[in-house]
A = this chain, B = another copy of it.
Amino acid sequence: MARIKDVAAAAGVSVATVSRVLNDSPSVNDETRRRVYDAMSALNYVPNAVARSLRTTATRTIGLIIGDILNPFFTELARGVEDEARREGYTVVMGNADERPDEQDHYVRTLLEQRVDGLLICPTAELTPLVQQLAEAGRPLVFLDRSIAGLDVPTVRSDGASAIAELVRHLREQGHRRIALASGPATLSTGRERTEAFAAAMAAEGLELRPEYVRPGDFREGSGRRITAELLDLPEPPDAVFFGDNLMTLGGLEEIRARGLRIPRDVAIASFDDVTWFKHIDPPVTAIAQPAAEMGRHAVRLLLSRVNGRPAASAVLPATLVIRRSCEGKGS
Tell me the A residues contacting B by CB distance below 8 Å: 44, 46-51, 53-54, 59, 61, 69-70, 72, 75-76, 78-79, 82, 91-96, 109-110, 112-115, 133, 137, 250, 253-254, 257, 275-277, 279-283
Checking B48, B92, B133 against A115 with a beta-carbon cut-off of 8 angstroms, the contacting residue is B48
A110 shortest CB reach to chain B, Å: 6
A79 in contact with B91 (CB, 8 Å):
no
B48 in contact with A113 (CB, 8 Å):
yes
Checking B50, B91, B257 against A93 with a beta-carbon cut-off of 8 angstroms, the contacting residue is B91
Q: Which chain B residues border A50 with CB–CB below 8 Å?
A: 50, 53-54, 59, 114-115
The 8 A-B pairs at the shortest CB distance, nearest first, are namely A282-B282, A49-B113, A277-B277, A50-B53, A49-B114, A253-B280, A46-B112, A50-B54
A106 to B282, CA, bound (A): 41
Q: Which chain B residues border A46 with CB–CB below 8 Å?
A: 109, 112-113
Q: Which chain B residues border A257 with CB–CB below 8 Å?
A: 279-280
A187 to B283, CA, bound (A): 37
A208 to B114, CA, bound (A): 58
A51 to B283, CA, bound (A): 56
Checking B72, B82, B94, B277 against A92 with a beta-carbon cut-off of 8 angstroms, the contacting residue is B94
Find the residue from A46, A54, A94, A277 having the highest chain B CB count within 10 A.
Answer: A277
